[in-house]
Structure 1
Amino acid sequence: MNRPTWWRDAAADDEDTNAPAIGRSPENRRQALIKLMWIGIWMAYLGAPVSDLAEGHHTVPATVFGALGLLVFVTVYLLLVFRYTGRNLDRTAITRALGAICALAAVLTVTLGDAWLVLAVYVSVAFGAVLKPRLARWAIPLNTVAMVGVGLLVRSSHDLMSALVVPSLLGGFAMSAVGQMVRTTRALREARATVAQLAANEERLRLARDLHDLLGHSLSLITLKSELAGRMLPGKPEQAAQQVADIERVSRQALVDVREAVSGFRRPTLEAELAGARTALAAAGITADLHRAGAHHPDLPPDQEGALAWALREAVTNVVRHSGARRCTVVLTEVGDELCLTVTDDGRGATGPHGNGLTGLAERLQLADGRLETGPNDHGGFTLRALAPLSRSGADLPPVEHAPEP
């Protein structure tokens, strides 16, 4: 799929193989190592429990218990912060993991002394990492209060508890902000991908409409002229050669139009489409009444003129291919603040639902703030009315000649 250039440029901003993007899991071992190093920097505060174990202040069973407990605590903490920051997790898994590190922090502190109070700071950080903001704003202060209570229970110094209160609150709420930023970044990335997909779909729809209108008209004209040339070949070689020359001209113009449509530069004009309609109707042997459609309206914006021009092309193509009409009338009139293009034929009329051409035409007019009206007329044929708004920014200018609808 060919994505828009702006989408590719924006996506390139996130391409960094050396560091993981915010809100995105590491994609290779190097990114995982960098992220682990950033998280590991803050593990330096575990120096107090490690020193307490290394200095031999406890019995061998207590030291083994403390080492295993610290290992489990760090493992669960890293799992939460490393993999699940800002993610929507299963509530049961969150409860079990947070409950485990809360229990370990309390038991290790009560059992081994106040040096282990620092584990409560990591509990606050884990709360901020995995809980939603409305839960974290309550869980973090409650954990800090619990830390103070455990500190009083083990007779910790007031200086130590005071030194840990601020890191517990600050670290928890800072991590909550990081988690919210990760969630927001992920949502924006998904929204940008959705916008890119919608832009690509809109571009495909535009191209489909343009190609249908361009090729349907041109190929119909080529088919008619080929049939004429075939009938003229035995007795009228010069006229047949003229039809072949017209086929070549139409083919070359169709090729140019397709290239412009693919590039997004195609904007037809009413004047050009009226000339094409006259040629196509004459080639099909249909009498064309276009004398009330030749005026140019100065208040018609380019986008609206392009939509009406596409409507004229599609209407004439349908008349040539499907109507079996003998006469086709095109009228351009001003109706209030709108310019109305009316194409009427005396053919067999339309049956069944609208095809791709009229459906795409209605969408094209809607994009230009216009509308499409179709239905049978009093003569048994088919009438198409395309209306587009006029711009009234300047002084009053001579309006297009009003003419009654056929």
Structure 2
Amino acid sequence: MRTWWRKRCAAREERGPSGISLLPWLLLGVGALAHLTSGEAARPWLGLLGLVTFNSLYIAIVFRAFAPSLRDSRTTRVLLGAAVLVSFALAIGYGREWLLLFPLLGLALGAVVRGGRQLRRTAVPLVAAVGAVTVWRDGWDSLGIVYGTFISVMVTAAILALNETVRELRETREELARAAVEQERLRFSRDLHDLLGHTLSVIVVKSEAARRLAPRDLDAALGQITDIESVGRQALTEIREAVTGYREGSLGTELDRARDALASAGVEPVVRRSGPPLEPAEEALLGWVVREAATNVVRHARATRCEIAVESGPERVRLTVTDNGRGPSPAASGSGLRGLSERLAAAGGTLAAAAAPDGGFRLAAELPAGRTVLAPSGAQEPPALGFRS
């Protein structure tokens, strides 16, 4: 029972106040009703009709005020205007006890017009008119009615506007939480693609090499199998790092792996580096590019030679991977290279892929030197490029 009550209270707190919360204030009209039943009021039937009309208008207004689609509608404004006319007519006709309808009118106005310039344009004339009628009908002793009307308008508007802001902030927080989850999923899927695509390609190439070598050179075949074991263990470590989100690749390590994978696939690797050492963030991003490019060459290029060049200068860092294979496939738009393009674009860099001048395929990545940060996972996806997958 206690758990059910807590859930009910939490749900009510999330929904916020409703029109029901303003209904108890109708008790302010009890004085007017007592005045009618005392026999002192002239034409009591007319006063009763006016009181019923005002209460009906008040109830309709406050319930519409808590429905965003109805609050700013023309019908709500018409009902509010009618409530103003009825309350002033009753206050002028009967005076004293009926002046307490003005704070009720202030509550209705504050619920509908919750802030800004429009609240000032409506509240100030209303309070001024209430002051004039109150002083005329009951003298200066009833200025508390004027103050009560002003407070009713302003406090109601402030509380409901604050509640609406809190609700919007809660919705924004929930949306940000959902976006963070989506970004983490994107990061994880992208890292797994980049890690497993390269690793499995290397394992396949070395397995084929071991199968070819086994009949004539058992020791060389065992060496390939040992490499497969090493690659598998390294892949397990990298996947654990990817899951925790702390993996930062090393460009030197990726170049060594790319050289070994290319050589195992029968592709002559040529690796050149020039310029000063790179920042860790630059190393991490370019390490992903080398991994994806080498995987692409091993799996699809049918190349015999692959050149990897890293050139770092004072303003830009450039990495190019060129092979002499069959060239890019215009029908493909590889998800791995699209992911790399996102990473580089978010860090201020670029990624370009096209046919090499002498045939084959060239992938070129550039980054601003010394200003690179690791690209966020939720970067906006650029237009698809004609990459091999």
TM-score range, shorter chain: 0.7 to 0.9
1:222 to 180, 203, 213: 203
Summarize deviations over 1:292-344 as a string: whole Å, max 9, x none. 23x7844x222221001101111111111111110111122123422222211
1:89 to 71, 76, 97: 71
Question: What is the CA–CA distance in structure 2 between the aligned matches of 1:334 and 1:129, rounded to whole Å?
Answer: 64
SS at match of 2:9: coil
1:18 aligns with 2:1: no
Counterparts of 1:290-301 in structure 2, within 5 Å, are 290=271, 292-293=272-273, 297-298=276-277, 300-301=278-279
Residue in 2 that maps onto 1:325 = 303
Residue in 2 that maps onto 1:335 = 313
2:184 to 203, 206, 209: 203
Question: What is the CA–CA distance in structure 2 between the aligned matches of 1:268 and 1:279, rounded to whole Å?
Answer: 17
Question: What is the CA–CA distance in structure 1 between the aligned matches of 2:240 and 2:203, rounded to whole Å?
Answer: 18
Per-residue deviation, 1:187: 3.2
Residue in 2 that maps onto 1:315 = 293
Which ranges of structure 2 fall in alignment gaps of 5 or more residues? Answer: 1-5, 372-389
RMSD, matched Cα: 3.1
Question: What is the CA–CA distance in structure 2 between the aligned matches of 1:257 and 1:374, rounded to whole Å?
Answer: 27
SS at match of 1:289: strand
Per-residue deviation, 1:216: 0.9
1:365 aligns with 2:344: yes
Counterparts of 1:138-287 in structure 2, within 5 Å, are 138-151=121-134, 156-287=137-268
SS at match of 1:375: strand
Q: Name the aligned partner's letter for residue 230 of structure 2.
A: R
Contact preservation (8 Å) 2:103, 2:152: yes
Question: What is the CA–CA distance in structure 1 between the aligned matches of 2:70 and 2:293, rounded to whole Å?
Answer: 54
Q: Name the aligned partner's letter for residue 122 of structure 2.
A: A
Question: What is the CA–CA distance in structure 2 between the aligned matches of 1:97 and 1:25, rounded to whole Å?
Answer: 25
Q: 1:235 to 1:382 in 2, by over 3 A?
A: same
Summarize deviations over 1:335-377 as a string: whole Å, max 9, x none. 3422222211111221315421211111111223222232222
1:126 to 80, 104, 108: 108
Give me the TM-score of the superposition, normalised by structure 2: 0.81
Q: Name the aligned partner's letter for residue 131 of structure 1.
A: V
Contact preservation (8 Å) 1:109, 1:117: yes
Contact preservation (8 Å) 2:354, 2:363: yes
Q: 1:283 to 1:19 in 2, by over 3 A?
A: closer
Question: What is the CA–CA distance in structure 2 between the aligned matches of 1:160 and 1:140, rounded to whole Å?
Answer: 22
Q: Name the aligned partner's letter for residue 195 of structure 1.
A: L
Summarize deviations over 1:86-138 as a string: whole Å, max 9, x none. 77634123123313422432343345433111212221222122125332212
Per-residue deviation, 1:273: 0.4
Contact preservation (8 Å) 2:301, 2:325: yes
Per-residue deviation, 1:140: 1.5
Question: What is the CA–CA distance in structure 2 between the aligned matches of 1:317 and 1:173, rounded to whole Å?
Answer: 67
Contact preservation (8 Å) 1:325, 1:348: yes
Contact preservation (8 Å) 2:314, 2:369: no
SS at match of 1:200: helix
Percent sequence identity is 34
Q: Name the aligned partner's letter for residue 331 of structure 1.
A: A
Per-residue deviation, 1:277: 0.6
Residue in 2 that maps onto 1:68 = 52
Residue in 1 that maps onto 2:377 = none
Residue in 2 that maps onto 1:52 = 35
SS at match of 2:338: helix
1:303 aligns with 2:281: yes
Point out the more displaced range, 217-226 or 72-81.
Answer: 72-81
1:379 aligns with 2:364: no
Q: Name the aligned partner's letter for residue 283 of structure 2.
A: E
Q: Name the aligned partner's letter for residue 326 of structure 1.
A: T
1:101 aligns with 2:80: no
Per-residue deviation, 1:386: 1.6
SS at match of 2:71: coil
Give me the TM-score of the superposition, normalised by structure 1: 0.78
Question: What is the CA–CA distance in structure 2 between the aligned matches of 1:211 and 1:121, rounded to whole Å?
Answer: 65
Summarize deviations over 1:202-237 as a string: whole Å, max 9, x none. 223222321111111011111112222222334444
Question: What is the CA–CA distance in structure 2 between the aligned matches of 1:225 and 1:341, rounded to whole Å?
Answer: 26
Contact preservation (8 Å) 2:72, 2:112: no
Residues matched between the structures, number: 363
Q: Name the aligned partner's letter for residue 94 of structure 1.
A: T
Question: What is the CA–CA distance in structure 2 between the aligned matches of 1:88 and 1:363, rounded to whole Å?
Answer: 44
Residue in 2 that maps onto 1:4 = none
SS at match of 1:142: helix
